[in-house]
Structure 1
Amino acid sequence: MSKVFKRDFFNYGGMFYFYFFTWAITFAFLPIWLKDNAHLNEVQSGLIFSGISLAALCYHPFFGYIQDKLGYKKNLFAIIAGAMIFFGVFFNWIFIPLLEYNFWLGLFVCSFYMSLCLYGGVGVVESYIERVSRSNGFEYGHVRLFGSIAGATASFVGGILFLQNPESIFLGSFYIRRNIVCIIVFSTSKKRCYRENEN
């Protein structure tokens, strides 16, 4: 395995790991958080998740078109990762006050924000990494394995964080989301790297 190949493989494996760590820890503990911290009942919590799914349906056609136009550029991926950094701020200082002011307004804002980061954004993340993996000659499935590892570790770490302080689920994983942004910013163009490696 060449030096450039290894760097690219672990760069994008790292992106997958940190992204799906955030995904897993959020959706594993969000229902409990909505009940215990946001004081929503089962119907209201169900409406939150339904709204997130509906918002994803709105995002997907636009995200697919934009990502096809961008090709190997990471602009859309970076926007999604940047939005994820504010999870802690959103859930602890914006979402609950919105719900207290008006449940439907909180539902609307949460649906489009969460879908941008996760339900809608996951298609951008997966399609982009699948594209660069083919360009660089390594298997997408091998990189995707990092996401499965993230799901296992997120459940373990999330359980510890939630028992200590439920608010830390969104605040503590800030460092995980920061790592995604750092990898995106400092990783080089995969298409260019691969061609240089072939020469």
Structure 2
Amino acid sequence: MSTSTPRSAQFKMSSFIFLYFFTWSSSFGLYALWLSQKVGLDSITIGSVFAINGVFAVIMKPVYGYIMDKIGMSKWLLYFVCAVSALMAPFFVTVYQPLLLSHTTVGIFVGAFYLSLGWYAGVAAAESYTDRFSRLYGLEFGRIRMWGSLGWAMAASVSGVLFNFTPLANFVVSSTTSVLMLLVLISLKIGDAQLRSNNVISENKIVFSDVILLLKNRKFWMFSLYVAGVAWMMFVAEQQFPRYFVSFFDTKEQGNAWYGYLSTVQSGTEFVMMMFIPMLVNHYGAKKGLLLCGCVVGARLIASGLTTDPLMISIIKPLYGMEIALLLISVFKYIAEHFNKKVNATMYLLGYQAMIYVGSVVVAPPAGYLYAKIGFEHTYLMMGCCALFFTLVSSFTLSRCRSARHPEPEELHVLDTVSVAPAKSH
């Protein structure tokens, strides 16, 4: 079987990521508005939806990570994700919405399971595979992942208009592009030379005891503390942000359209940042990249709570794109530096992605309650201050970068704790 040339492989991988995020944005970008305006759920119930979604994501992400570390560069898990995504339109129309209307609790659980298979855990698997592919070919992750930002931006530019016409159009577009995504992935053939001479995929496949060792690693929990304090605030605040944003406009339809336009600008910002932030993180180190991200998150949330002007909230919104680029690139570089390559995907999907959705379980319901009781403004002020506090704490608890004279992470045992001199925290 012929393999793709490096240039062709990069083009196909970039195309896959572009189509995946185009697909995801088409349907999921306005998910909170769909739950509110089309299904008719209130703030507290929507918070519960995201919480249950988070529970299933927390369960599925580590499973996907373990499978990916087992299968290496095999694409069978991604084929499954594409198939699930292609069936999103019939699922939303014939299963999910009717259940939410007639048997809300059952609908929430069924939806959470299906969305976790295709999107919540699926996107984490796609990004982890992209990171692995990038390092296999000696590329920067951000230079491929940025095409996902462009895909999200292009879908977001029309998703608000389609949503006002009928949400069914969003779902049909999503399912159609999923089929294209699957075809592109099938055509991608990883080069034999890259597979033979690489330090990305471990010859010793992961076993369950490696996961136990990872959970005993102090660095794992210090990294998780950062995720809990900063990433939880960042992503939970974003879940119902569309509803807050729409409230600044005279009509919901006007707000929906403007949210779509600004999501395009946000994704464009993310696209540009994905090109330049790798240089910043390479120069200053992954730890400082994570801390800078925390500062931006805290400042954006506080500013969102203080403003009362539609123009200002529109200027603030695209900063989320910078946060995503900073966070993703810093996370992958931090994991590659401080954890064994045998558990690379597991660490990303368990220590980062699953921990994010623990936040949906823990923080989303009380956040929904606070939105209803004290308003979005005061809630965002609290969340912004929390993000800044944990950024300060993480400046002491995250491990610093190794210098060139220290051994590569893959040479270190997965239980790389405080006994390893280069891994001392500040």
TM-score by length of 1: 0.89
Corresponding residue for 1:81?
Answer: 82
Listed as ranges, the gaps of 5+ residues in structure 2 are 197-426
- 176 and 137 in structure 1: CA distance in 2 versus 1, 3 angstrom threshold: same
Q: CA deviation at 1:82?
A: 0.7
Q: CA deviation at 1:111?
A: 0.6
Q: CA deviation at 1:149?
A: 1.0
Corresponding residue for 1:23?
Answer: 24
Q: Is the 8 A contact 1:25 1:158 kept in 2?
A: yes
Corresponding residue for 1:182?
Answer: 183
Secondary structure of 1:125's counterpart equals helix
- 144 and 107 in structure 1: CA distance in 2 versus 1, 3 angstrom threshold: same
Distance 1:32 1:195 in 2: 44
Q: CA deviation at 1:192?
A: 2.2
Going by fraction, where is helix more abundant, 1 or 2? 1
For residues 82-107 of structure 1, the C-alpha deviation after alignment (integer angstroms, 9 at most, x for no partner) is 10001110111111222233111101
Matched, 1:98 2:99: yes
Matched, 1:141 2:153: no
Identical amino acids, percent of aligned pairs: 30
Which amino acid letter does the alignment assign opposite residue 4 of structure 1? T
Distance 1:8 1:186 in 2: 9
Spell out the pairing of 1:2-151 with structure 2 (5 A cutoff): 4-151=5-152
- 36 and 195 in structure 1: CA distance in 2 versus 1, 3 angstrom threshold: closer
Q: CA deviation at 1:80?
A: 0.9
CA RMSD of aligned residues (A): 1.9
Higher mean C-alpha deviation, range 102-111 or range 131-140? 131-140
Which amino acid letter does the alignment assign opposite residue 160 of structure 1? V
Q: Is the 8 A contact 1:52 1:114 kept in 2?
A: yes
Q: CA deviation at 1:195?
A: 6.5
For residues 15-70 of structure 1, the C-alpha deviation after alignment (integer angstroms, 9 at most, x for no partner) is 11111122233332111111222222222222111211221110122111111010
Q: CA deviation at 1:120?
A: 1.4
Q: Which one has the largest radius of gyration?
A: 2
Distance 1:24 1:88 in 2: 13
Matched, 1:164 2:165: yes
Higher mean C-alpha deviation, range 60-69 or range 158-167? 158-167
Higher mean C-alpha deviation, range 41-50 or range 175-184? 41-50
Which amino acid letter does the alignment assign opposite residue 16 of structure 1? I
Which amino acid letter does the alignment assign opposite residue 14 of structure 2? G
Listed as ranges, the gaps of 5+ residues in structure 1 are none
Higher mean C-alpha deviation, range 156-165 or range 56-65? 156-165
Q: CA deviation at 1:187?
A: 1.8
Instruction: Name segments (4+ residues, structure 1) moved above 6 Å.
Output: none
Which amino acid letter does the alignment assign opposite residue 192 of structure 1? D
Q: CA deviation at 1:193?
A: 6.5
TM-score by length of 2: 0.43
Q: Is the 8 A contact 2:19 2:177 kept in 1?
A: yes
Matched, 1:155 2:160: no
Task: Name the count of aligned residue pairs.
Answer: 193
Which amino acid letter does the alignment assign opposite residue 87 of structure 1? M
Higher mean C-alpha deviation, range 24-33 or range 87-96? 24-33
- 4 and 191 in structure 1: CA distance in 2 versus 1, 3 angstrom threshold: closer
Secondary structure of 1:13's counterpart equals helix
Q: CA deviation at 1:136?
A: 2.1
Corresponding residue for 2:268?
Answer: none
Q: Is the 8 A contact 1:132 1:191 kept in 2?
A: no
Which amino acid letter does the alignment assign opposite residue 117 of structure 1? G
Q: Is the 8 A contact 2:53 2:115 kept in 1?
A: yes
Distance 1:195 1:73 in 2: 11
- 65 and 191 in structure 1: CA distance in 2 versus 1, 3 angstrom threshold: farther
Secondary structure of 1:104's counterpart equals helix
Secondary structure of 2:147's counterpart equals helix
For residues 118-166 of structure 1, the C-alpha deviation after alignment (integer angstroms, 9 at most, x for no partner) is 1212221111121122222322211011011122212102123212222
Which amino acid letter does the alignment assign opposite residue 135 of structure 1? L
Which amino acid letter does the alignment assign opposite residue 57 of structure 2? A
Corresponding residue for 1:192?
Answer: 192
